[in-house]
Structure 1
Amino acid sequence: MVNEGIEVYLPICEPDFALSWAAYSPGIEFLPSAQAPVLEPVGPRFANDIFDDINTIIIPALAIDAQGRRLGQGGGYYDRFLPLIEDSPVRVAAVVYDSEFVDEDAFPVAEHDQPVDLVFTPTQVHQIP
């Protein structure tokens, strides 16, 4: 994607389960997060206003149901972040294996859980109504 001129931003876990963003480029350094058990890009951090100019965000998921409801890892970072950009033009997508795109009600969903608009699996793109 980057080689095709597409700008890519990666999340950085901040205190209080907030996210900031760093631009990705090949060879960028990654260090362990101070907040979560993940590696994060090193570089200038950007706030959520970058999403005024971004058309798609791809977020992690353990599973997605047919209604676009997402099962995350339980940290709540994306469930807190997504409402902050709901007025932006960004589409929210997740990537899962075919077996992780499941029927409605396959897992419990909480009121604060944020849905996705698109689901990418190895064999198909699912547009959520």
Structure 2
Amino acid sequence: MSTETKDQLRQQFFNQRKELGGQERQRQSDLLCRLLLEWYGGLEPAQRSAKKIALTIRFGTEPDTDPLMRALHDDGVEIWVPISHADRSMSWTQWYPDVPMEKSKLGPIQEPTGERFGPEVVADADVISVPALAADTAGYRLGKGGGYYDRLLAALPELSDDAPLLITPLFNHEFFAANVEAFPVEAHDLPVQAVVTAENGIVWVQ
């Protein structure tokens, strides 16, 4: 599949998110946050021993995880968020309510101003939320095309012997059966372990 065709497919998924409307996106987002909060709180102590989670700050029509971030912080969990760079690498900084923010150099998104760290700071997290525009029942995901998280997932085994749980939050219509082949899966793609939607809850795919 050509790069142009993949870009067209990404635009299709972006458009579908817009068509959901703000009220429905928020309704599903609130359910996603509740499901993830209950799931994390129910893990065995050994599975959440780091008390650290990597999440993304909501942008545009993405699922709104702000309520989840606030609830986890109130429970004593460290929240780390990614900072994207022009060379398509990511660094990480800590988020907390009312953290000082500044406009990203790459786009119209607000980012925390705190100290940046390399991927090793999240390699021992309990959970990393891996964003996507769509995912399937084999755990493969269609990202936005920058490859930021592909590189992170590839690096994790070298950074930690106890890899974080990888979970992708999506709107209901963005989760597909793998045999439908709703988007291309390439040799370098690495799967997540779970997908969560408001309709299906947390689905373990590996």
Q: What TM-score results when the alignment is normalised by the length of structure 1?
A: 0.90
Displacement of 1:36: 4.5
- Distance in structure 2 (CA, Å) of the matches to 1:37 and 1:83: 28
Map of 1:103 onto structure 2: 177
1:1-129 matches, cutoff 5 A: 1-87=72-158, 88=160, 89-104=163-178, 105-123=181-199, 124-129=201-206
Q: Which is worse superposed, 21-30 or 34-43?
A: 34-43
Name structure 2 gaps, 5 residues minimum: 1-71
- The CA RMSD measured in Å over matched residues stands at 1.5
Q: 1:78 to 1:13 in 2, by over 3 A?
A: same
Q: Which moved more, 1:23-32 or 1:68-77?
A: 23-32
Q: Higher strand fraction: Structure 1 or Structure 2?
A: 1
SS in 2 for 1:2: helix
Q: Sort the Cα spacing of 1:45 and 1:96 in 2 relative to 1 into closer, same or farther, 3 A.
A: same
CA gap 1:101/1:61 in 2 versus in 1, 3 angstroms: same
Structure with higher Rg: it is: 2
Partner SS state of residue 146, structure 2: coil
Contact persistence 1:13–1:36 (CA under 8 A): no
Letter in 1 for 2:121: I
How far apart in 1 are the matches of 2:106 and 2:78?
25
- Runs of 4+ displaced beyond 6 Å: none
Give the number of aligned pairs.
129
In the aligned structure 2, how far is the partner of 1:4 from the partner of 1:44? 23
Task: Give unmatched runs, 5+ long, in structure 1.
Answer: none
Contact 1:97 1:122 in 2 (8 A): yes
Once the two structures are aligned, what percentage of the paired residues are identical?
36
Of 29-38 and 1-10, deviating more is 29-38
Higher helix content, 1 or 2: 2
